[in-house]
Amino acid sequence: MDEDHHDEVDIGSIQLGGMEVRLAQGHGQLEPGKELHLVIRLPESDAGSSVIRAWLGTDDRFSSVVSRADYSASSGTYDVHVVAPDPLPEPTLWWIEITRPDGEKLIGSVAPH
């Protein structure tokens, strides 16, 4: 998705609020306590005006570290680094929460690599 991130694996896309959000994961495969990287591409650049948070775990965020994504103007993507819970809950998913500039909050999940 971005030439600066060479170890990324496309993990698909999710539909949130009528838009397709594309996702790629870096830093290898999911393991307990391991830091992973998530690249989030919105269908249209919003120049960083959305607030995006992500975590690995379950929807209730129990034992998860929630991190805020940084916007990269050069690639038009949001990047976030998250540490996986140890032990991993079942099922462990990537959870993405997008707060749009108008205040609309969208939440979805996708399986990690």
Report how many domains make up the chain. 1
The per-residue pLDDT for range 63-113, each reduced to its tens digit, is 999 999 999 999 999 999 999 999 999 999 999 999 999 999 999 999 999
The per-residue pLDDT for range 2-36, each reduced to its tens digit, is 444 558 999 999 999 999 999 999 999 999 999 99
pTM, to two decimals = 0.91
Q: Is position 3 within any domain?
A: no
Q: Is position 15 within any domain?
A: yes
Read off the tokens for 54.
Answer: 């992500």
Q: Is position 36 within any domain?
A: yes
Q: Is position 4 within any domain?
A: no
Residue 19: partners with Cβ closer than 8 Å, 6 or more residues away: 42, 43, 44
pLDDT reading at 54 higher than 70:
yes
CATH number, residue 78:
2.60.40.1930
DSSP assignment, residue 53?
E
Q: Is position 26 within any domain?
A: yes
Q: Say if CB 68 and CB 51 are below 8 A apart.
A: yes
Q: Is position 2 within any domain?
A: no
Q: Is position 46 within any domain?
A: yes
Enclosing domain of residue 88 = 9-110
